[in-house]
Amino acid sequence: MKKIKVFVIDDSAVVRQVLTEIFKQDSQFHFLGSASDPIFAMDKMNHDWPDVIVLDIEMPRMDGLSFLKKIMTERPTPVVICSTLTTEGSETAILAMNLGACDIITKPKIGLKDFLNESTIALTDAVIAAASASTKHLQNPSQTKEYKIQLEKKQELSSLQATEKIIAIGTSTGGTIALEQVLTKLPKENTPGIVIVQHMPEKFTEAFAKRLDSICEIRIKEANDGDRVVRGLALIAPGNKHMTLKRSGAQYYVEIKDGPLVNRHKPSVDVLFRSVARQAGKNARGIIMTGMGDDGAAGLQEMKEAGAETIAQNEETSVVFGMPKEAIKRGCVDHILPLTEIYKKIVGFD
């Protein structure tokens, strides 16, 4: 099996040291080296171009976002962002994802070395997933316009109507852009309640939800424990927490809870989908989109067995076809659709 060539760009000597050790000790990787900023990195990488770049955002001489734009324009290459775990950092990292980065790995300001050592599995999984990403999709990062002024005031959450139908969506690598392309097509009228798991670290899901809310007609928010699932609203599971669907009479709501990793993830798509199968049954539709691994396949199968209609994103439009592929292999997918057609399975599901 071909080794994945990795290069690290980070101005922290500690980060470079720890990541060097991690990648050199894992036989899946061929570690090409590291640099303290993109200018130094370009000189080194031109001799042996990496399969995946692990990139910091705040660096001297050239920041990570400027470098990311340059790479995606000149030589599209899978990039994993390694960013500080702060609200400000999370907003910048979400912008990086929108520019074509594959995934985010967080790092704290203190206890950095121990944290990175403990996060080895998450880091290596992210790099492996990025290595299998389709570069043709990296060349076309999201071009959705940022609407600074809402033309129409959005309906208050408290006035949104109850939903009898549920849309459950699960996605991972490449999912931030995929979700944007789907959710921005949904009208504020005629859209049932939506629950979403996007594999993403804590703090980043809030920034992601706020950004989507600013460009979508429907309401988008990071879910809180007890939030009602209502028409015209999409709830995104918070990073590092599982989200399940619950029902009380005619009302649906979400439960946010801690717990162990499921399929190496928290939040887990399987956790959400299984709860939707039990609580909503045939009144739900399950959608699995781009991502590495098999999280969501078992849950989607349970949804189908409970009478739900199921949809998978096709290979041609997926950044990584792993999650949809696993669901299709199980025989639990009713429709295999390109990303541009998926929104039609949401609108008007009454």
Query: Which residues are known catalytic residues?
Result: 172, 199, 295
- Convert 279-304 to b/e letters by CB count within 10 Å (16 or more is b): bbeebbbbbbbbbbbbbbbbbbbbbb
Instruction: Show Cβ contacts of residue 290 under 8 Å, excluding neighbours closer than 6 positions.
Output: 171, 172, 173, 174, 175, 178, 313, 317, 318, 319, 320, 321, 323, 324
Beta strands in the chain (DSSP E): 4-9, 29-35, 52-55, 79-84, 103-107, 166-171, 193-198, 219-222, 233-236, 242-248, 251-257, 284-288, 309-313, 335-337
Distance CA 312, CA 299 (A): 13
Name the token pair of 304: 């189908």
SS3 (DSSP) at 169 = strand
Name the token pair of 218. 């429907």
Backbone torsions φ then ψ of 276, nearest 5 degrees: -65, -40
